[in-house]
Every structure is written in C-alpha cells, then in structure tokens.
C-alpha cells in the first residue's frame, strides 16, 4: 500500500485529477475542500479516500483536518497544497482591501497553515520525513494584467517553497513547486475563450489536458526523499508565457 497523501482543493479541477492519480497508485488520500459533496464525487468508489470538508484559511479547520488524517492513518507522507482562488481582477486602486485579504488568506495563509501542520507531523513521525508539493502558477513568475492579488500570493508561494525546502532538510522533508499554465479545468475555461493580454487585447489562449498535471505531481510524489523536483513548469506549448508582455 502507498503512503498517506493530503490534497487541498480536491473537489474539482487539478485537485480532483491528482487525487485520483494518487489513489490509482495505492496512496491513502485525504481529500480536503470546502464542499463535501464535491469531495465525495472525487472519492467515489475509492475506499482509501478520506473526505474532510475544511476551509484552508481557518487555522482550527486545518488542524482538525490533519488530526483526522493522523487518527485514521497515523502519518502524512505527501501534502499537495492546491487550494486557491484567482481573487479580484482590476488595477490595484480598484481592488477592494477585503478581496485582497481573502485572496491572501486562501492562497498564501492557507498553504502555510497546511504546510505547518504537515511539517510538524513529518518531523516527528517514524519513519521520519515526507514531501510537500505547492501548486504555484505561471503567475509565480510573470503576472497577467489586473492580477495584483493573485500574482502577489503566487510569488509568495515560491518563497514559502524555498523556505520549507531549506528548513526541511534536517528532518528529511522535501518541498517542491509545480507551476501550471493553462491546464484545462473549470477555473480556466474563460482563458480558452479570451484572456486579457499585456497590450490590452483579449485573445483566446491554448490549454492542455489537466491529466498531464496529475502525471507530473504523481512523478514528484513518487521520488525517494533523497531526490526532489524543486520547481517544475508545465504549460500549454503555445501559451503566451515566454515573451509575455
């Protein structure tokens, strides 16, 4: 039987595909997200899945999630920090402070809270160690117009990844990041119809099958703790990323 994996944002899109890939590989998988019905749909027919509704921005709910995982399986081997929101769009002066704070709460604080709990468990479990994989974004490298909140949080995820990677060395905790550009999911459906470019035009952008993201995360998760994919970028080949702007 595989290790124990915790996935956030597991009710749809990338999270759902990664969860199913890991379940196929024999992992015992805890599915976290805000909608229990969507999580149950992801887990359908999988006896080694634990459905646990939780808001990653709430420290108490995150603690309860990891308590449920260790109560059932006793350890955590992989955390995929995937939950996120695009947040508000517009020029910086048009973004409500409350919307900024909510984006930071989900995309950054939520990732930290989950990593914090996983790190604590991995540090003390026997055998020691584990792997944290953060879902960054192309916006961890280069912004889209009108995306200050989302882009700031995704740049911050890169800093979190590096810090976790460094601080985890002493405890056999590896941390890497996957940056995804235009995987075809419900969240990115609008991009295929038209996305605002740096010159102000709205143009449809190519997408790629989200299953390739699941395969990439599956590879990262399966590595021995003596090896790590620090950063991986997976995009639609013709996505306007290289040379954006």
What is the rounded average pLDDT of the residues 97-114? 98
Percent of the chain past pLDDT 70, that is, above it, reads 98
pLDDT at 143 over 80: yes
CA–CA distance, 238 with 70 (Å, rounded to integer): 43
Percent of the chain past pLDDT 90, that is, above it, reads 81
Alpha-carbon distances, residue 99 vs 44, 64, 186 (angstroms) = 34, 26, 21
CA–CA distance, 22 with 18 (Å, rounded to integer): 6
Q: Which of 27, 150, 171, 219 is catalytic?
A: 150
H or E segment to which residue 174 belongs: strand 173-181
pLDDT tens per residue across span 31-64: 999 999 999 999 998 988 999 999 999 999 999 9
Confidence of residue 25 (pLDDT cuts 50, 70, 90): very high
Query: What is the model's pLDDT at position 79?
Result: 98
- State yes or no: is 150 an active-site residue: yes
pLDDT tens per residue across span 147-204: 999 999 999 999 999 999 999 999 999 999 999 988 888 777 778 788 888 778 888 7
H or E segment to which residue 100 belongs: helix 97-104
Q: What is the pTM of this model?
A: 0.94
Q: What mean pLDDT, rounded, does the chain reach?
A: 94
User: How many CB atoms within 10 Å of residue 186?
Assistant: 10
What is the rounded average pLDDT of the residues 51-79? 98
According to DSSP, residue 108 is labeled I
CA–CA distance, 33 with 19 (Å, rounded to integer): 12
Residue 174 in tokens: 């590896």
């Amino acid at each position: 039987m595989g290790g124990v994996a915790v996935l956030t944002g597991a009710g749809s899109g990338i999270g759902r595909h990664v969860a199913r890939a890991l379940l196929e590989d024999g992992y015992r998988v805890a599915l976290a997200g805000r909608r229990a019905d969507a999580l149950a749909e992801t887990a359908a027919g999988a006896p080694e899945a634990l459905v646990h509704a939780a808001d990653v921005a709430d420290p108490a709910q995150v603690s309860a999630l990891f308590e449920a995982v260790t109560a059932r399986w006793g350890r955590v081997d992989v955390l995929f920090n995937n939950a996120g929101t695009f947040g508000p769009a517009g020029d910086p002066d048009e973004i409500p402070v409350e919307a900024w704070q909510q984006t930071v709460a989900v995309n950054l604080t939520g990732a930290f809270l989950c990593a914090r709990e996983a790190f604590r468990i991995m540090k003390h479990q026997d055998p020691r160690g584990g792997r944290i994989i953060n879902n960054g974004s192309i916006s961890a490298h280069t912004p889209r117009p009108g995306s200050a909140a989302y882009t700031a949080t995704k740049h911050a995820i890169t800093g979190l990844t590096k810090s976790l990677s460094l601080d985890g060395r002493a405890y056999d905790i590896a941390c890497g990041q996957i940056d995804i550009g235009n995987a075809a999911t419900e969240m990115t459906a609008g991009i295929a119809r038209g996305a605002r470019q740096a010159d102000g035009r709205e143009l449809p952008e190519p997408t790629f099958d989200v299953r390739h993201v699941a395969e990439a995360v599956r590879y990262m998760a399966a590595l021995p703790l003596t090896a790590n994919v620090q950063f991986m970028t997976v995009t639609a080949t013709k996505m306007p990323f290289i040379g954006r702007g």
